[in-house]
Structure 1
Amino acid sequence: MYKELIDAALEARENAYVPYSGFKVGSAVLMEDDTIFNGCNIENASYGATNCAERTAIFNAVSHGHTKIKALAVVGDIHNFTYPCGICRQVMVEFAENREIPIIIIKNKDEYLVKTMEDILPGAFTKIDLDAEKEVKYV
């Protein structure tokens, strides 16, 4: 399973649109039915409009009707391990099948780390927290 995700993330990295930073990132997500979607980072002259590879891959999957991530892989700098940014972690947890899904942090096709969603975003704020809030009675 990891090899396919790693290959898809590395391939997506090559399509990154990074005219400002030059920092290419690729990502791939394995969804509940074993379909893999990938994405790359896409920069914009208005930096706030830039989209990260992880979110591109997830939004690609969701736009095709898939909402449960089984695993995610990400590659940035091929000489170092590049972890997802904070906003990507929050989007990842929104669609994670559970908090134990593997997050594969890739340096290159032979070197990678496997973490869990809980490892990289402990104590995440999720829809469960919103449901719990509705039950709180204010006096």
Structure 2
Amino acid sequence: MNFNHLKNEANKVINPKKYSNYAEGGQVAAALETASGNVYTGICIDTACSLGFCAEHAAAADMLKHGETHIVKMVAVDQDGNYLAPCGRCREFLSQLDDRNDGMIVILGEDKTYLLRELLPFDWKK
């Protein structure tokens, strides 16, 4: 499987900026592809009081805004192009948006993929 299109979409929205003395963002971007083939992106927002959110959350919000919930593939990258695993909060959040999302492919490298359920073992919802 080729996932370069998702990484390219994530790279397009990377744009590190300091918004204020207390907030910055854009160092990490995520792109997810839905079952209908649409791609949604998002960036991270980091704040001094941990009130920000991850790029995966932002991409999911973009998807939800368009009425979709079923994710089939996702990637997150930093400003240096490194692949990043979704944090535990993001894993749980994405799994709750649609029961089928436990089968989404999470890209963690050029030839390194996992299903969300592999990254979220012992799911309390099952």
For Structure 1 versus Structure 2, the TM-score category normalised by the shorter chain is 0.7 to 0.9
Deviation of 1:69 after TM superposition, in Å, equals 0.8
Structure 2-normalised TM-score? 0.79
Q: Does 1:78 align with 2:80?
A: yes
- For 1:113 and 1:92, how far apart are their aligned partners in 2? 20
Would you tell me which structure has more strand in proportion to its own residues? 2
Contact conserved, 1:28 with 1:36, CA < 8 A, in 2? yes
Q: Could you say which structure has the larger radius of gyration?
A: 1
Residues 88-132 of structure 1, C-alpha deviations (whole Å, 9 max, x = no match): 1111212353423210125xxxx4521111221112233xx5xxx
Q: Aligned residues, how many?
A: 121
- For 1:37 and 1:56, how far apart are their aligned partners in 2? 9
Contact conserved, 2:102 with 2:116, CA < 8 A, in 1? yes
Query: Which shows bigger deviation, 95-104 or 113-122?
Result: 95-104
Contact conserved, 2:60 with 2:94, CA < 8 A, in 1? yes
Residues 23-58 of structure 1, C-alpha deviations (whole Å, 9 max, x = no match): 8111011012100000010122332x2010001001
RMSD of aligned alpha carbons: 2.5
Distance 1:46 1:115, change over 3 A: same
- For 1:61 and 1:22, how far apart are their aligned partners in 2? 20
Name the residue aligned to 2:32: 29
- For 2:6 and 2:27, how far apart are their aligned partners in 1? 17
Instruction: Find the residue that maps to 1:99 and give its secondary structure.
Output: helix
Name the residue aligned to 2:59: 57
Instruction: Find the residue that maps to 1:84 and give its secondary structure.
Output: coil
Instruction: Find the residue that maps to 2:48 and give its secondary structure.
Output: coil
Q: Percent identity?
A: 24
Work out which of the residue numbers 45, 61, 78 in structure 2 matches 1:42: 45
- For 2:67 and 2:7, how far apart are their aligned partners in 1? 23
- For 1:40 and 1:112, how far apart are their aligned partners in 2? 24
In structure 1, stretches of 5+ residues that fail to align are 130-139
In structure 2, stretches of 5+ residues that fail to align are none
